[in-house]
């Protein structure tokens, strides 16, 4: 039985906690939850208590939590499954996590996929370019730092509004709750400084849409994903929590799997 500790019991973590408690993944047991706000029955008050009860720790609490706990989890010998991949746009944090010795480091693919073919294309080519356009409900992309004209356009909802067009590293910093898919694509392909990102707010969008394009010596690729938003947080796709469950299932090393 694999003992799983969970950091964060919000829109993603609460679903993971519920599903694991109901036996959604054979051979995996939820044993501890570290969250400063949510009063879960398995709640612990500090990281050391979490680690004593965990073989694998799932980080589902955002960039700050990964900075605070990530390296220490690996150094304590527990495996770490990262949900807040956008935090790895910080080169210093990425280096600390990779240098830490002890437990293994896993990255949750979250709300998009297709990385098997893109990574294969990188080996063949490599890829010359990769880009992603993410379209979300307008309210999910409003930020205080935006120009007043952009905020007004998002509020009116007359037409889709491009609120960002630039490199992935900058997108991850400006939209930490929305850019994990961007970070995942960057790590799988040409890197944070070469992946091009567009963030689009659409008042009429009822689902979160991601369109990935890439090209290189191996060919040209276009992948699209349209996910229902989390009912608890419109900035998060509902499927992300189930991507965590799928990752935990894969970590069980089933005798038959797709590699």
Pick the catalytic residue from 40, 63, 69, 210: 210
- Name, in order, each residue with C-beta under 8 angstroms of 60's C-beta and a sequence gap of 6 or more: 6, 7, 8, 9, 10, 12, 13, 16, 83, 84, 241, 244
Helices (H) and strands (E) counted in the chain, each on its own, are: 10, 11
Q: How does DSSP assign 2-55, residue by residue? A: EEEEEE--STTHHHHHHHHHTT-STTEEEEEEE-SS---TTEESSHHHHHHT-S
Give kind and range of the element (H or E) at residue 95.
Answer: helix 91-99
Structure tokens at 66: 């990964």
Q: Assign 3-state DSSP to the chain and report helix, strand, coil percentages, each to 5.
A: 35, 30, 35
**CB of 234 within 8 A of CB of 215?**
no
40 is catalytic: no
For residue 217, the tally of other CB atoms under 10 A from its CB is: 11
d(CA 3, CA 32): 9
SS3 (DSSP) at 240: helix
d(CA 35, CA 40): 8
**CB of 214 within 8 A of CB of 127?**
yes
Q: Active-site residue numbers?
A: 210
């Amino acid at each position: 039985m694999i003992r799983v500790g969970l950091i964060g019991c919000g829109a993603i973590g609460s679903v993971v906690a519920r599903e694991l408690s109901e036996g959604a993944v054979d051979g995996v047991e939820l044993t501890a939850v570290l969250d400063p706000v949510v009063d879960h029955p398995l709640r612990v008050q500090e990281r050391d208590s979490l680690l004593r009860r965990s073989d694998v720790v799932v980080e589902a609490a955002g960039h700050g939590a990964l900075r605070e706990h990530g390296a220490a989890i690996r150094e304590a010998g527990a495996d770490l499954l990262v949900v807040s991949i956008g935090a790895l746009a910080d080169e210093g944090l990425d280096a600390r996590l990779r240098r830490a010795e002890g437990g293994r480091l896993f990255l949750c693919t979250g709300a998009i996929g297709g990385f098997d073919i893109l990574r294969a294309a990188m080996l063949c080519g490599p890829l010359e370019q990769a880009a992603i356009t993410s379209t979300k409900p307008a309210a999910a992309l409003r930020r205080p730092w935006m120009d007043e004209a952009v905020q007004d356009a998002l509020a009116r909802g007359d037409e889709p509004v491009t609120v960002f067009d630039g490199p992935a590293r900058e997108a991850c910093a400006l939209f930490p709750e929305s850019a994990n898919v961007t970070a995942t694509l960057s790590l799988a392909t040409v890197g944070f400084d070469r992946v091009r990102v567009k963030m689009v707010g659409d008042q009429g969008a009822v689902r979160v849409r991601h369109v990935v394009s890439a090209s290189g010596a191996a060919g040209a690729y276009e992948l699209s994903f349209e996910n229902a938003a989390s009912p608890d947080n419109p900035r998060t796709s509902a499927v992300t929590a189930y991507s965590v469950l799928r990752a935990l299932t894969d970590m069980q090393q089933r005798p038959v799997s797709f590699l």
